[in-house]
A and B are shown apart, each in its own frame.
Chain A
Amino acid sequence: MEKPWEIDLSIYDDEQELLRGLRRRDRLACTCLLKEYAPRLLRLSMQLMGDSDEAEDVLQEAFIRACDQIDSFRGESGLGTWLHRIVINTALMRLRKRRPESSTDIESLAERADGTWQSVASDSAEPSRELLGAELLEALDRSVARLPESLRTAFVLRDVEELSTRDAAELLGISESALKVRLHRARLALRKEMTPYLTDSVSEDAQHERGDG
């Protein structure tokens, strides 16, 4: 009997073939779609939602929505780009249904950042240069998850997903100026939280600029 890990998925290496398989709701095609796109999309969903359980729900809903709409997919963008949009829209819809967060004034943000900074720092009080790899990225993951929702979504769409200011603002239903302000606040909060991981190089840069180095 063929074991699941021995199934040949290469028949769907071609995107058009994969689309045809998905339109037939072929189980192998669905498996291929997940293997190819689910990891990255789950991470995107986690970044937007800041919660792993909700992120999985969003991804599940997004895949079901994608398969429901697969017949209307025209292929104007790649399948991956199209799926990205569906995940972003699904996540944002779910976030809108949540009770709105209170406005993120900079003082409460600083307090929040203080708390998070300590919790991040407590994981590794003195990160050395050789640790500035996976650990930095994990710290960034945690820090992004702790941002208030309005800042987190702006940061993920604009800085991580690299959408244009206009597209990110449109998806969030806010003005471009509002998006820019949220981005500045998000980056400022992350700078504080990530200080233990970024300080050395920044100090060197600043010293160099002042002519100390």
Chain B
Amino acid sequence: MNPGTTDLYCCELAAIAARCDENDPDESVLTEMEQHVANCPICRGAESRLSEAVSRYRSYAAPGVSQKFESTIVTRLCGISKRDAESEGQA
């Protein structure tokens, strides 16, 4: 484990990230960050596990929406259409 690393949180990476403005980053610090992640065994392992978890998360079936929510939206869509039809008729 590299010095300054606790669990999967890499203090070295955090220190580099702290020098980087997230709105207007210095390209050299971004490169340093990317190189660190590519070369640090803990970062590599952690990112790989996270990526695997995210991949499962992506394919995780979403729970259905409630009947109430569904009927509220359908009613609004149909209500809008009725108003549209009425305004078209008036025009």
Chain A residues near B (Cβ < 8 Å): 25, 27, 30-31, 34-35, 38-40, 42-43, 56, 59-60, 63-64, 67-68, 103-107, 110, 113, 136-137, 140-141, 150, 159-160, 162, 174-175, 177-178, 180-182, 184-185, 187-188, 190-192, 194-195, 197-199, 201-202, 205-206, 209-210
What distance in Å separates the Cβ of B18 from its nearest Cβ neighbour in chain A? 4
> A194 to B41, Cβ gap below 8 A?
no
Q: How many residues of B contact A (CB 8 A)?
A: 53
Write out, one digit per residue, whether chain B residues 1-40 have a CB within 8 A of any chain A CB (1) or not (0): 1000001111001110110111111010010011001000
Cβ–Cβ contact B22 & A103, under 8 A: yes
State in angstroms the CA–CA spacing of A162 and B27 once bound together. 23
The 4 closest A-B pairs by CB, nearest first: A25-B81, A192-B9, A39-B62, A106-B18
Interface of B is mostly: helix
Q: Contact between B46 and A191 (Cβ–Cβ < 8 Å)?
A: yes
> Do A56 and B49 have beta carbons less than 8 Å apart?
no
Q: Is residue B73 within 8 Å, beta carbon to beta carbon, of the partner chain?
A: yes
Could you give, for residues 46-64 of chain B, a 1 whenever the CB lies within 8 Å of some chain A CB and a 0 otherwise? 1111110110111011111
Q: Which residues of A contact B23 (CB under 8 A)?
A: 103, 174, 178
Cβ-defined partner of A184 (8 Å) among B33, B56, B65, B70: B33
Note all chain B residues with C-beta closer than 8 A to A68.
Answer: 80
Interface residues of B in 50-91 (CB under 8 A from A): 50-51, 53-54, 56-58, 60-65, 69-70, 72-74, 76-78, 80-82, 84
Q: Given A39-B63, A191-B9, A191-B46, verify A185-B53 contact (CB < 8 Å).
A: no
Most chain-A CB neighbours within 10 Å: which of B14, B46, B61?
B46
Given contacts A40-B62, A192-B9, A202-B8, contact A184 B17 (CB under 8 A): yes
User: Using Cβ atoms and an 8 Å threshold, which residues of chain B touch A194?
Assistant: 8, 50, 53
